[in-house]
Amino acid sequence: MTFLDLATTRQSDRAFTAQEVRREDLLKCVQAAQLAPSACNSQPWKFVIIDDAELVKQAGTAISNNPLGINKFAETAPVLVAVVEEPAVLMPKIQGKVESNRWAQFDLGSATEHFCLQAAELGLSTCIMGAFNEDALKTLLSVPADRRIFVTLAVGYPSGTARTKVRKELHAIHSFNGYEA
């Protein structure tokens, strides 16, 4: 598979089969996330993987019970993941000059996408979920009070089929040698 094939294969899936997801495969996804770039190589992420059936059920409820009223499908995912933002140690030259790690969200996004792309290569489906009940999930997973859960992921084998990607046109998202409206 070329990289573009893999990027095309990855899609947000919201329905899964009952097939068990192997820890070995989940760890490969974490390994891919580990390789993501980050500001000052600070790696400000932790992936809390939930594959215990009873805990998955409770976490699914904590995710679906969000103010936006979406992500009911989280209750049916075989595996859920909470992506937690960890404190970042930046280069001494930079640390103290920036009020906080303003690159953390970018870093977590990169690592999360590495996770999802590796999952896709293994035939697994993912859906990144930005809407969830953070307090409930933090309590359930014993996430320290001073940490934030950045996003959650549903992981499993897809029960649906591949969709055509809906994207802006290529010309609308790039230009050479200067910004073009």
Ligand X SMILES: Cc1cc2nc3c(=O)[nH]c(=O)nc-3n(C[C@H](O)[C@H](O)[C@H](O)COP(=O)(O)O)c2cc1C
Residue ranges that bind ligand X, judged by CB under 6 A: 11-12, 14, 70-71, 127-131, 151, 165
71 φ/ψ angles, rounded to the nearest 5 degrees: 70, 30
- Fill in the amino acid letter for 18: A
Taking the least distance from each CB to ligand X, the nearer of 170 and 181 is: 170
Smallest distance from ligand X to CB 149, Å: 12
Smallest distance from ligand X to CB 147, Å: 18
Taking the least distance from each CB to ligand X, the nearer of 93 and 168 is: 168
Smallest distance from ligand X to CB 151, Å: 5
Taking the least distance from each CB to ligand X, the nearer of 62 and 127 is: 127
Smallest distance from ligand X to CB 180, Å: 24
Taking the least distance from each CB to ligand X, the nearer of 38 and 90 is: 38
- Which two tokens mark 108? 């977590």
> What is the spatial distance between Cα 106 and Cα 34, in angstroms, rounded to a whole number?
14
DSSP H or E run through 104: helix 104-121
125-129 β-sheet, strand order = 45-50, 79-85, 148-156, 125-129
Beta bridge partners of 156: 125
